[in-house]
Structure 1
Amino acid sequence: MKIIGITMGDPAGVGPEIVVKALADSQEFEADYVVYGAADILQHYIDQLGLNCKVKEISQVEEYEEGAVNVIDPIHLTMDQYQIGALSAKCGDAAYRYIERSIQDALAGKIEAVVTGPLNKEALHMGGHNYDGHTEIFATLTHTKDYAMMFYGPLKIMHVSTHCSLREACDRATKERVLTCIRLICQALKRTGLENPYIAVAGLNPHAGEHGLFGTEEIDQIIPAIEEAKAEGINVTGPIPPDTVFSKALNGVYDGVIAMYHDQGHIAAKMQHMSDCVNCTIGLPIIRTSVDHGTAFDIAGKGIADGKNMKQSMHVAEEFLKAEE
């Protein structure tokens, strides 16, 4: 029996709702799932939505009960301790504790992968955990040096930088970082069955710098990284102007794209395929996938959150697991 963990995310957001909606359709999935979250809160949403689910709180994965929504609840937050749709240090801390416990169990081999629900970065910081987001938490708690965020969907996009200012993103586009990302996306795509994936590297500047007319980062950093990757036998090309590279990838020219910064990749991925877009952290010793949307405080608690992206994140985790068999 393969068991995958799901973190509930920030309790004040839509995380609890989309988790129970996804698990209510358990026949869609091949693995079994344990939720790291609050049993009381999950029960609230099950009752609100009229779902036919039974919540069972367990202290260890080994206590898993078939047919129930199994919940490991490390801090026992209850509905009366916070306000739905509002920033809260208590909820930010809870979201972190769910992630922390899931990583501990994954590293111990008790679960096969982790699927994460949305957290709120401001609440996370209010709760005393100064991370930019999930990616950095996973990297820190697994002691991983070389890692990157990758979108896995109709477009496969890995990011050289993520949560930083645009000015800082330019500085982070170094030869070493670009080369690391090329290696990581190549490894990830091979794990999903592509023997020799064709990878495109986007330019940082308009027209990929136009031979230095609009910036020299391509000449100084990006091209040297591409050439070294080619020397290692990786099937990579670029830099490709960022206004065309994603369209070409969507049409099957490239198997994956290296984006230079957060919005360059995120806008391309979300324009047409928001619900199919799954966030993966590549380079970790464990499999981690995630919904690619936020806590949506404006609709939290209203019963209208869409669980499709959570389901897709679960399916992708299962796909990565299959590739390891």
Structure 2
Amino acid sequence: MTAKPLVALAMGDPAGISPELTAKLVALDDLRARTRLVIIGDRRIFDEGARVAGVTPELTTVEQGADFRAARGEVLFVDLRHLDPAEIEQGTASLASGKFALTNYRHALEFGRDGRVDAVCFTPFNKQAMRLARADYDDEIAFSAEVAGLKTPASEFNVLGELWNARVTSHIPLKDVAGRLSAERIHRALRLTDICMRNAGFARPRIAVAGLNPHAGDGGNFGREEIDVIAPAIAAGREEGIAAEGPFPADTVFLRAKGGAFDAVLTMYHDQGQIAMKLMGFDRGVTLLGGFPFPICTPAHGTAYDIAGRGIASVSASQAAVRLAADMVKPALA
């Protein structure tokens, strides 16, 4: 019998919905049936989240240095005891909340890096709080690469069921996007998309590539990036056997992908894909950090400060994140 994937789940921002989402995840029968979770955080914060969520899941507390694979218990909890709930003002970003989330995530990444778990997930972070705790915090990709010691390219993917969105540039100002695009960079993004999707079970993912300019440049009338930069990158990918097509106008390519013509859309910048994906399934979307030696997944939505503490946060996207992470490690455990 194949062992269940061991997934480290870092508790996210304690001032938002992360504590209740973490508790709700632990209480889900289907996740316990397909994974073993290692929760990382503070038990006092978790217990408050469980109270808000109205669940009473069973946990086994273990030390940081424990052999998680040999430990007894269906759900393990690494209690860092590093945050008193009284220090947190609900719905407000703070140094304390950022430090809590950053510390939890660092531990989860170290567990993944050292082979002590098979995958890493986390409930939502708040970037303002993260930057209060670490002034040079850019995004999860850069931080994860630093902790994991990754020297090769990594990227963020958004996943909604069987439809993926990849991107060439991510968390940069819109005014800088065109200058960051190159045939080499787009080709690299295509290759990474193909690899990650194959690891997730796609035999030969069909990837549509969006243009940068309105109407994909309209034959050069609205810009030449499609002709001079994007098309050569697609051609290079196709020569390698990647099923890539385009460039297509960004305002219609997701309609074709949603209709089943493609498995993924590679966009040129963050919101070009995020807007479409979140409109199609805000409460179900997953963010995957691809290019790492282990899957890293989180719900695509944020900390939802406006509904924190009310017990109404949907667990669907967090559930999908853990499922995707577990599915991506199963081949390695067979």
Question: What's the TM-score bracket when you normalise by the shorter of the two chains?
Answer: over 0.9
Q: Is the 8 A contact 2:287 2:299 kept in 1?
A: yes
Q: Is the 8 A contact 2:164 2:264 kept in 1?
A: yes
Match of 1:172 in 2: 180
Alpha-carbon distance, 1:143 to partner:
2.9
SS in 1 for 2:185: helix
In the alignment, the residues of structure 1 paired with residue 180 and residue 284 of structure 2 have an alpha-carbon distance, to the nearest angstrom, of 28
The percent of aligned pairs where both chains have the same amino acid is 32
Match of 1:305 in 2: 313
In the alignment, the residues of structure 2 paired with residue 57 and residue 76 of structure 1 have an alpha-carbon distance, to the nearest angstrom, of 15
2:54 aligned with 1:50, yes or no?
A: yes
Match of 1:240 in 2: 248
Mapping for residues 169-318 of structure 1, pairs under 5 Å? 169-318=177-326
4+ residue runs over 3 A deviation: 26-29, 54-57
Which among 44, 62, 87 is matched to residue 67 of structure 2? 62
Aligned residues: 324
In the alignment, the residues of structure 2 paired with residue 67 and residue 143 of structure 1 have an alpha-carbon distance, to the nearest angstrom, of 30
Which among 78, 81, 84 is matched to residue 87 of structure 2? 81
In the alignment, the residues of structure 1 paired with residue 119 and residue 222 of structure 2 have an alpha-carbon distance, to the nearest angstrom, of 43
SS in 2 for 1:244: helix
- Structure 2: where are the runs of 5+ without partners? none
Task: Give RMSD over aligned pairs.
Answer: 1.7
Match of 1:148 in 2: 155
Which among 39, 43, 54 is matched to residue 39 of structure 1? 43
Alpha-carbon distance, 1:321 to partner:
1.5
2:19 aligned with 1:10, yes or no?
A: no
Q: Is the 8 A contact 2:21 2:49 kept in 1?
A: no
In the alignment, the residues of structure 2 paired with residue 226 and residue 143 of structure 1 have an alpha-carbon distance, to the nearest angstrom, of 30
In the alignment, the residues of structure 1 paired with residue 52 and residue 267 of structure 2 have an alpha-carbon distance, to the nearest angstrom, of 41
Alpha-carbon distance, 1:55 to partner:
4.0
Q: Deviations over 1:236-275 (max 9, x none)?
A: 1110111111111111111211011111110111112122
Deviates more, 1:192-201 or 1:207-216: 192-201
In the alignment, the residues of structure 2 paired with residue 195 and residue 27 of structure 1 have an alpha-carbon distance, to the nearest angstrom, of 26
In the alignment, the residues of structure 2 paired with residue 78 and residue 71 of structure 1 have an alpha-carbon distance, to the nearest angstrom, of 17
Q: Is the 8 A contact 1:74 1:97 kept in 2?
A: no
In the alignment, the residues of structure 2 paired with residue 50 and residue 88 of structure 1 have an alpha-carbon distance, to the nearest angstrom, of 26
Q: TM-score, normalised by structure 2?
A: 0.92
